[in-house]
Each structure stands twice: as structure tokens, then as C-alpha cells.
Amino acid sequence: MSEQDSPASWEADGPSVDAEVEALQAEVRALKEQVLRYAADAENTKRRAEREMNDARAYAIQKFGRDLLGAADNLDRAMMAAPADNGDPAVKNYVIGVEMTAKELLGAFEKNGLKKVEPAKGEKFDPHKHQAVMEQPGTDVEPGGVIQVLQAGYELLGRLLRPAMVVVAAKVAGASPANPYGGGTGGETPDGEGGAVDTRA
């Protein structure tokens, strides 16, 4: 047996081998952490690209959708003005055609994420989606509730494109801070001025 292969030389080499193993293990851990960071960065980049793509898509149809809102409004007005009972077949067919066109347009809107904002009667006024154009005493609607929709609003992929124009039940005179709308049907605030609905979005 040579002097290099003796047990004494193995014991002498032991600490250096252990140090080398620890150094390699530390390097492996560092590389694993680096790989995980790169994977996380790649995932974040992918999500950011998807979000930017969705935003770009939404912005691309936003102007186009807004330009079509006038056509949708005119179709709604035409249906509201259409005679309920008319014996003339030509008028009936015309009304059916207007209704089908309005339905088709609304379906195209919804397919592209453009949804109608049309609160039901009595629904609470939401300044983020509604615009109050006037207040009226409401006999069958709670103060602060929607009495009538004058023009439907629209939102695009959760982003408000146009608020719904509504008539709101007026606040009541003598209302307490805990109940600002009170319980009656008056249209004045405690200081005697007309109650105004906050229309800020």
C-alpha cells in the first residue's frame, strides 16, 4: 500500500472533501432559487402580457362601441313609440323588424363584453353607474331609489362606458344623519334647500 492510499491520508483528505460537498450543495440551492425566480418572472411577464392584451382589446372596441350607442338608443326609442295594436300588416312587420334589429345589436354588444346598465324601478341609486338628471317625490319608491330610466347606460368589460340617466325619488325634509332619506315624500333637505342626489361617479 502506498503512502497516498493509507488510512492516514484518507483522514487528512476528509475535511476538504466535506467542504467541497457543502460548496456544491450550496451552489445547487442557489441555482434552484435562481430557476424559481426565473420561472416566477416568466409567469408574471405572461400575466402582464395577457392583461395588456385584454386592455388593448377593450380599448380597441371602446370607441366603436360608444359610436354604436346612439344607434341602440334610437332603436329603443323606435320600439317605445311603436303602436301597441295596429291592424296594418306592414306596420306590424316594421315593428318586428325594429325589435329584431335591436335584439341582434344587443346580442353583439354582449358578445364583446358591452352590457346594458338599466336599473329596475326601486333599485338604489348608484353614483358609480347612474346619473340622476332630476328628483321627484316617490310614492311607491323609497327615497334614493330609481323611479324611471330615461336613457340606458352601458359598461364595457366592467368599465363604465356611459352611466344610465335616471329619475330618483327625492330625499325627505327633516331626515336624520342616520337616515338621510327620512321616511316621508318631501323633496327638501333640513336646511330648506332642494335635495340633490350625488351624481359624482
The rounded distance, in Å, linking the Cα atoms of 174 and 181 is 9
Phi and psi dihedrals of 180, rounded to 5? -60, -20
φ, ψ of residue 63 in degrees (nearest 5): -65, -40
Single-letter amino acid, residue 8: A
108 Cβ contact partners less than 8 Å away, ≥ 6 residues apart? none
Q: What is the largest CA-CA distance in the chain?
A: 120
**Closest by CA position to 125, among listed 180, 176, 197:** 197
Q: What domains can be seen in the chain, in order of their start residue?
A: 7-111 (3.90.20), 114-201 (2.30.22.10)
Confidence (pTM): 0.55
Grid cell listed for 172: 325627505
pLDDT per residue, tens digit, the chain (201 aa), is 555 555 555 455 556 888 888 888 899 999 999 999 999 999 999 999 998 887 777 677 788 888 889 899 998 888 888 877 777 888 888 888 999 999 999 899 888 888 899 999 989 999 999 999 999 887 788 888 999 999 999 998 888 889 999 999 987 654 444 444 443 333 333 343 444 444 443
Helices of type H across 6-88: 7-81
